[in-house]
């Protein structure tokens, strides 16, 4: 099986067994409209289907992994230690767009990564390489954007960061070979999922409290109206015979239960958080329309082989 290439907040590796337990005995295509780090996808390595994310730089990253893995790896090998001096032959070697002094190589690469949201020319392969570099050298593996779409995570502290990840890139490239990759709203799935397919929804979570914020990983966010739209889409898919599996925060329990889905609460540990005190276990639901009698009783490895 392939492994996720990125560290990604909200990743589902700790929830895989609970998700597998809801899979049907057999299915057609596999679809994942909120892809993120893709832990479930890479573990299953489905033969075909679609993945989607609203973050265009994340979508480009997976397109480059699928289509240009060797070029991506070679470029990653040219990058320097994040605490080294900026490259004087590249832009932002002394100041950033705001005229603020660039304090090191990491911050120069961060400024270059932000070429696209600030309207500058960018190279898709370089942007993908920079995303992985910043993901592996930035603070705590966070991905966070300001309201203008600018990536703004500070440098991390790592003894020996490995930003090349050549083996994982090659594994992921094979896994993505027959997958269509989209940068659309999640409602695209109504045009692609057919009866008998599996759709796994892993949206930005509805906050557990007024002060919580699980969806600040892009400038657009994901609000309560979006959560209601998602529930409506899940219901439409159910009516068309599509197998739906969904994870969300515990506050969404009643909404999916009342809509007729089988819903259970699972504990999940948040592995990425800027505050170490908040990296504890939170209530998480897994909802599905797959009846217990139609679910696979086999374990993870057999599903991966399916």
| CATH code of 282's domain | 3.40.50.150
CATH number, domain with residue 71: 1.10.1020.10
- Residue 208: pLDDT band (50, 70, 90) is low
Tell me if 29 is assigned to some domain. Answer: yes
* Shared domain check, 92 and 40: no
Residue 298 pLDDT exceeds 50: no
DSSP state string for the chain: ----SS--TT--GGGHHHHHTT-BS--S-EEESS-TT-HHHHHH--SSEEEE-S-HHHHHHHHHHHH-HHHHHHHHTTPPPTTS---TTSTTSSB-TTSPBP-SHHHHHHHHHTTTTTT----HHHHHHHHHHHHHHBGGG---B-TTS-B-PPB---SS-----HHHHHHHHHHTTTEEEE-S-GGGGGGT--TT-EEEE-PPPPPSSTT--S--SSSS---HHHHHHHHHHHHHHHHTT-EEEEEEEGGGHHHHHHTT-EEEEEEEE----SSGGG-SEEEEEEEE-S-GGGB--S-HHHHHH-
The closest alpha carbon to 156, from 39, 274, 77, belongs to 274
Tell me if 8 is assigned to some domain. Answer: no
Residue 90 pLDDT exceeds 50: yes
pLDDT in tens, 244-292: 999 999 999 999 999 999 999 987 554 444 454 444 456 899 999 999 9
Question: What is the model's pLDDT at position 303?
Answer: 43
* Shared domain check, 278 and 193: yes
Domain limits for position 239: 13-54+183-305
What predicted TM-score, i.e. pTM, was given to this entire model? 0.89
pLDDT in tens, 12-59: 888 999 999 999 999 999 999 999 999 999 999 999 999 999 999 999
The closest alpha carbon to 49, from 189, 144, 169, belongs to 189
Tell me if 59 is assigned to some domain. Answer: no
Question: What is the model's pLDDT at position 282?
Answer: 60
Percent of the chain with pLDDT over 70: 88
* Shared domain check, 46 and 190: yes
**How far is the C-alpha of 217 from the C-alpha of 143, rounded, in Å?**
6
* Shared domain check, 126 and 86: yes
Of 167, 193, 213, the residue at which a domain comes to its end is 167
Question: What is the model's pLDDT at position 207?
Answer: 76
* Shared domain check, 123 and 31: no
* Shared domain check, 245 and 148: no
Tell me if 153 is assigned to some domain. Answer: yes
**How far is the C-alpha of 255 from the C-alpha of 294, rounded, in Å?**
23
Q: 213 phi and psi, to 5 degrees?
A: -150, 100
Q: Which long-range contacts (CB under 8 A, 24 or more apart) does 145-148 make?
A: 145/117, 145/217, 145/218, 145/219, 146/219, 147/219, 148/117, 148/118, 148/219
Bridge partners, 192 (sequence order): none
What total number of domains does the chain contain? 2
pLDDT in tens, 120-130: 999 999 999 99
Question: What is the model's pLDDT at position 299?
Answer: 47
Give 212's contacts (C-beta < 8 A, 6+ positions apart).
Answer: none
Structure-derived torsion over alpha carbons of residues 208, 211, 215, 220, reported in degrees to the nearest 10: 130
> Is 68 in contact with 61 (CB distance < 8 Å)?
no
- Residue 213: pLDDT band (50, 70, 90) is very low
Tell me if 199 is assigned to some domain. Answer: yes
The closest alpha carbon to 235, from 255, 251, 259, belongs to 259
Of 119, 143, 167, the residue at which a domain comes to its end is 167
Tell me if 6 is assigned to some domain. Answer: no
pLDDT in tens, 141-177: 999 999 999 999 999 999 999 999 999 999 999 999 9
Tell me if 286 is assigned to some domain. Answer: yes
Residue 7 pLDDT exceeds 70: yes
Q: What is the mean pLDDT of the chain?
A: 90
Find the mean pLDDT for residues 229-245: 98
Of 142, 167, 192, the residue at which a domain comes to its end is 167
Find the mean pLDDT for residues 108-130: 98
Find the mean pLDDT for residues 206-219: 50
Tell me if 3 is assigned to some domain. Answer: no
Helix 56-67 × helix 166-175 angle, to 10°: 90
**How far is the C-alpha of 95 from the C-alpha of 294, rounded, in Å?**
59
Q: 51 phi and psi, to 5 degrees?
A: -130, 160
């Amino acid at each position: 099986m392939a492994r996720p290439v990125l560290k990604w907040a909200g990743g589902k590796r700790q929830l895989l067994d609970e998700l597998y337990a809801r899979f049907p005995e057999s299915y057609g295509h596999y679809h994942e409209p909120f892809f993120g780090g893709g832990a479930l996808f890479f573990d299953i390595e489905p033969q075909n289907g679609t993945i989607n994310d609203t973050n265009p730089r994340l979508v480009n990253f997976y397109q480059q992994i699928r289509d240009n893995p060797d070029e991506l790896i070679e470029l990653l090998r040219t990058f320097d230690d994040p605490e080294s001096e900026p490259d004087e032959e590249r832009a932002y070697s002394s100041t950033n767009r705001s005229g603020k002094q660039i304090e090191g190589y990491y911050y120069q690469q961060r400024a270059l990564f932000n070429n696209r949201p600030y309207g500058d020319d960018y190279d898709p392969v370089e942007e993908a390489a920079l995303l992985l570099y910043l993901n592996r050298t930035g603070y705590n593996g966070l991905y966070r954007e300001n309201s203008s779409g600018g990536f703004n995570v500070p440098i991390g502290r790592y003894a020996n960061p490995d930003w090349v990840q050549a083996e994982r890139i090659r594994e992921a490239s094979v896994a993505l070979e027959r997958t269509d990759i989209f940068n659309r709203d999640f409602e695209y799935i109504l045009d692609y999922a057919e009866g008998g397919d599996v759709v796994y929804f892993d949206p930005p979570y509805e906050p557990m409290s007024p002060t919580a914020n699980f969806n600040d990983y892009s400038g657009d966010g994901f609000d309560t109206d979006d959560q209601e739209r998602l529930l409506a889409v899940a219901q439409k898919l159910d009516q068309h015979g599509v197998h739906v599996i969904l994870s969300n925060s515990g506050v969404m329990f009643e909404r999916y239960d009342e809509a007729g889905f089988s819903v259970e609460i699972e504990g999940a540990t948040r592995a990425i958080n800027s505050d170490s005190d908040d990296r504890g276990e939170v209530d998480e639901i897994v909802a599905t329309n797959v009846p217990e009698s139609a679910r696979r009783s086999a374990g993870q490895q057999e599903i991966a082989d399916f």
